[in-house]
Amino acid sequence: MAAVTEQTDNPTRLWGGRFAGSPAEALARLSVSVQFDWRLAPYDLAASRAHARVLAGAGLLDADELGRMLAALDDLEAACASGSFRPTVDDEDVHTALERGLLERLGALGGKLRAGRSRNDQVATDLRLYLRDHARGVAGRLVELADALTEQAARHVDTPAPGMTHLQHAQPVTFGHQLLAHVQPLLRDLDRLRDWDRRCAVSPLGAGALAGSSLPLDPIRVAKELGFEAAAPNSMDAVADRDFVAEFLFVTALIGVHLSRLGEELVLWTTQEFGWVELDDAFATGSSIMPQKKNADIAELARGKAGRLIGGLVTVLTMLKGLPLSYDRDMQEDKEPAFDAVDTLELVLPALAGMVSTMTVRVDRLAAAAPRGYTLATEIADWLVRRGVPFRDAHEITGQLVALCVARDCALDELTDGDLLAVSPALTPEVRDVLSVRSALAARTTPGSTGPGPVADQLAAAGDRLVAWREWASERVVPR
C-alpha cells in the first residue's frame, strides 16, 4: 500500500468544472484508490511519455514543449522512485497524483498532456503494462521452482517409490518420476502465461473515455512504443475490457492449485508415517510448546494461499458479470486482486523453491515402501497377458493371489511354487522374474513412463524448455 502524505492546500482534481462544491468526505473516502494503485506510477509515466510524443506529432506540442515535458516526466519518475514525491490524501488516484507532480514542475504546460486521453484508457493501459511486466516475474519464479524439482529428480532417476492412487499404494514408480509430475503443471502454467501475454499485448491508449478522440492522434504508434503488438480495434471495448485481468487471475489461481497439490504431498512426505523427506532447518518451523516439532509451514501456506488466489478470480468475474458498456466505476475493484495475486506468488514461489531444493530425500524409506501393499500385482497380470492369457482372466488370477497373501499376511514373493500353481496352472515359477521393484521399473520403457530411461528423457526435455522460459522471463516489456 502506498504511503500517503499530508493534504495539500490546492488539491488537483481531473474533474469538477460543472460542480459547485467539493465532494462529500464519504464520497471522497470511497472513491480514493491511490493507496493501492500508486504502484502503477512507473507504467503511467511510460504511457505519458509515449502520449507526449504523439501530441507533438499531431502538432499539439512544439519541440521545446515536448523536450520540457519529457524532462519533467523523467524528473517526476526519479522523484517517485526515491520517495521524494508521494501521493497525498487529496490525490484520488495515481493519475491525479502524477498530474499534480507534472503541474508542480511545468505549470500550465503540464495540463496539455491530458489532451486526447482519459483516465479510462490510461488505467486500462497502465494495468496491462503492469501485468505484462509482472507476469514475467512470476514466470521467473515458476522456473526457479521447476529447476528445484528437476534438480531433485535428477538425483532420483532410479530411486524406487510407491506410486499411489486414492492415496493407496498402487504401483512402483521412481521418485524422480513423481517429482517431474509436479514440473509438468508448472510448464503448462508458463505456457498459459505466454499465451495470455499475447492476448494482453493490445494498447487501449487512444480510446479516450470511450469514443476515441477528434484530435489527430496515433494509437498505433503509441502501442508500438509501449511494447504492445497492436492498438485496440474498438474504443468502447478498449476501456470496458477486463478479460485480461480475469484471465491473468485464472492463470494465477491455477498456479495456486498446482502449488497446493505439491504442498499437500510435501506435508505428507515429511510426516512420521511417511518419512520420505527431511526438511532443511532453514525451511521449516517449530512449535511454541512442543520442542520436538518440525513443521512444513511453507507447504501448508502454499495450500492456504491457493484459496486467496481463487478468491481473487471469483471477485473479478463477479464484478464484471453485469456491467453495461463501456466504463463503470466497479472496475476499480480489478486492481487489488491482480496486485494481490502477483504479491502472493512472489512470496510463495521462492519459499517453495528453497524448501524443495534443500530437502533431503530418504531413499531407504522410499525403497522399503515401494513394494508394500502388493504394488507388484499388476506386473503379474501383465506377465500373464504376455503369455496369452486374456487380461480379464489375468486380473482375476492375480486378485486371487493377493487374497491368498492377505489371508496369510505375506508378500507376493513369499508364496511357494505350489501356491502359485494352485491358483492357476499359468503361474509357472518364471513369474518370479517380475516380482521385484527393480524389474518392474526397468520394464517401463515407453515414453512418459516411470522407468529410469523415460525419466531421464523427461528431465532432458524439461531442462530444454526451462532454458527458453528463463529467456522469456528476463525480457523487458516496457521501454523508456
pLDDT for 22: 74
Is residue 382 included in any domain, yes or no?
yes
- Categorize the per-residue pLDDT at 31 as very low, low, confident or very high, splitting at 50, 70 and 90: confident
pLDDT in tens, 88-101: 988 999 999 999 99
Determine the residue type at 181: A
Measured between alpha carbons, how far is residue 441 from residues 172, 256, 379, 432 in Å? Answer: 7, 32, 10, 15
166 annotated active-site? yes
Do 243 and 328 lie in one domain? The reply is yes
Do 211 and 341 lie in one domain? The reply is yes
Interatomic CA distance for residues 117 and 48, integer angstroms: 10
CATH number of the CATH domain containing 406: 1.10.40.30
Cell of 325: 458498456
Sign of CA dihedral 464, 467, 468, 470: positive
Do 90 and 229 lie in one domain? The reply is no
Q: At 397, which helix (H) or strand (E)? A: helix 391-408
Is residue 129 included in any domain, yes or no?
yes
Which residues lie below 8 Å from residue 250, measured CB to CB, with a gap of 6+? Answer: 313
Q: Which of 82, 84, 166, 214 is catalytic?
A: 166
What share of the chain in percent tops pLDDT 70?
Answer: 95
CATH number of the CATH domain containing 184: 1.20.200.10
pLDDT in tens, 155-205: 999 999 999 999 999 999 999 999 999 999 999 999 999 999 999 999 999
pLDDT in tens, 449-470: 999 999 999 999 999 999 999 9
Do 94 and 145 lie in one domain? The reply is no
- Categorize the per-residue pLDDT at 5 as very low, low, confident or very high, splitting at 50, 70 and 90: low
pLDDT for 29: 80
Is residue 464 included in any domain, yes or no?
no
95 annotated active-site? no
Is residue 20 included in any domain, yes or no?
no
Q: Looking at the 3D structure of the chain, how many domains does it have? A: 3
- Inform me whether the pLDDT recorded for 126 exceeds 90: yes
Do 404 and 364 lie in one domain? The reply is no
* Domain that includes residue 384, residue range: 377-435
pLDDT in tens, 364-380: 999 999 999 999 999 99
Measured between alpha carbons, how far is residue 188 from residues 114, 147, 212, 455 in Å? Answer: 42, 15, 38, 18
Q: Which of 287, 326, 395, 424 is catalytic?
A: 287
Do 177 and 220 lie in one domain? The reply is yes
Do 228 and 311 lie in one domain? The reply is yes
- Inform me whether the pLDDT recorded for 351 exceeds 80: yes
pLDDT for 177: 98
Do 342 and 404 lie in one domain? The reply is no
